[in-house]
Amino acid sequence: MSIVNTDKDLLTCAGPRQAITEDRTASDSVEPASLVESLTGRWWVLHTRSRNEKAVAGYLVRWNVPHYLPLVQQRRKFGGTIKHVCIPLFPGYVFLCGSQEDRFRALQTNRLANVLDVPNQAQLKQELRQIERVLNSGVQVDLYPRLRKGTRCRVTSGSLIGLVGVVLRRRGPWRVYIGVEFVGQSAELEIDPAMLEVLD
């Protein structure tokens, strides 16, 4: 994956292990060890305010607070140009592993909605290890599993904002075709799934 700068170059999308401060050796470039496995301490789930995941992680990097922020690369359209950006795999969440003092420091960012306690520490760590393994493998991850055929959705940005349609089919992770009706006539549109919200 290409590197995308965020928050003064503190985070990259080359892989999730860049979202934490750690010592690295030359052997890491061949077969990197599990970042999640190397972390010690207690896990907390930081529930961030909307679109604040990278900002929170940026603070934690500067403060040397161990954490894990899984990032995935996505194509976005900006003014007719397609660019690759990195977005959190789990919007609204950063995983902190450390001490009570680290938890309090995270709260000082004023960018959190809540800090969730993790009763089963071993289970969360195992799940995060699996997520890390999938992301490091390069396998494509579907960021929009709810956008299946027949799903009603609304366009949330762009010139078609507010338009409501039904998913007709998908072609890869970046293309969704929706059917909409205009004055009794149906039409099919190709749209970026990042611009859609599911209507329950």
Per-residue pLDDT tens over the stretch 47-96? 999 889 999 999 999 999 999 999 988 777 677 787 888 888 888 899 99
Identify whether 3 is part of a domain: no
pLDDT, residue 8, reads 36
182 or 97: which carries more pLDDT confidence? 97
CATH assignment of the domain containing 118: 3.30.70
Contact 43, 115 (CB under 8 A): no
Confidence band of 7 (pLDDT split at 50, 70, 90): very low
- Whether the pLDDT of residue 20 is over 90: the answer is no
pLDDT, residue 181, reads 67
Contact 97, 67 (CB under 8 A): yes
For residues 128 and 156, state if they share a domain: no
Q: Which residues span the domain enclosing 190?
A: 152-198
In this predicted model, what pLDDT tens digit does every residue of 91-139 receive, in sequence order?
889 999 999 999 999 999 999 999 999 999 999 999 999 999 888 887 7
For residues 169 and 112, state if they share a domain: no
